[in-house]
């Protein structure tokens, strides 16, 4: 049953994308501003070379990224992992499906006042902690 449901969902997504292409309108993909949008824009240029018109819609409001897909303003979005999508579907009454299990992980920085190289981090060292009233990452062990 699960395989059948996923097959139907994938077919529906493919039909939506194909219908958009045949309608002469660009495929509209919403993404968060910054590095992910830059990657998506690069991919859109490659798609254009292959004959598929893709419009990237950059949004800085993460809540709006699912709203615009749910409302039909865009065809898809690129910004979240499966757990966040499931939570949004449950909390906000969406029925959005994950079209790709890989996704994109934007590069992030690791900053320290003490550590100069990753080799200096030993097993059991704390790499993140709560700072004042702000919560950074919860305490993690290397």
pLDDT digits (tens, 9 = 90+) for 50-73: 999 999 999 999 889 999 999 999
| Residue 79, both tokens | 């910004």
> Residue 6: pLDDT above 60?
no
pLDDT value for 16 = 52
> Residue 133: pLDDT above 50?
no
CB 16 within 8 A of CB 96: no
Q: How far apart are CA 51 and CA 21, in angstroms?
A: 9
pLDDT value for 129 = 58
- Mean pLDDT in the chain? 77
pLDDT value for 3 = 54
Percent of the chain surpassing pLDDT 90: 37
Predicted TM-score (pTM) of the model is: 0.59
């Amino acid at each position: 049953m699960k395989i059948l449901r996923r097959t139907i969902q994938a077919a529906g997504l493919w039909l939506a994308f194909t219908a958009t292409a045949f309608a002469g309108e660009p495929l509209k993909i919403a993404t968060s501003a910054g590095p992910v949008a830059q990657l998506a824009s690069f991919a859109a240029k490659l798609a254009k070379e292959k004959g598929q018109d893709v419009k990237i819609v950059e949004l800085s409001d993460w809540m709006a990224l699912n709203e615009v897909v749910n409302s039909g303003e865009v065809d898809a979005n690129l910004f979240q992992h499966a757990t966040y999508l499931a939570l949004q579907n449950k909390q906000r009454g969406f029925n959005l499906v994950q079209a790709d299990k890989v996704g994109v992980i934007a590069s992030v920085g690791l900053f320290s006042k003490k550590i100069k190289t990753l080799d200096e981090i030993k097993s059991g060292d704390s790499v993140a902690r709560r700072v004042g009233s702000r919560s950074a990452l919860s305490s993690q062990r290397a």
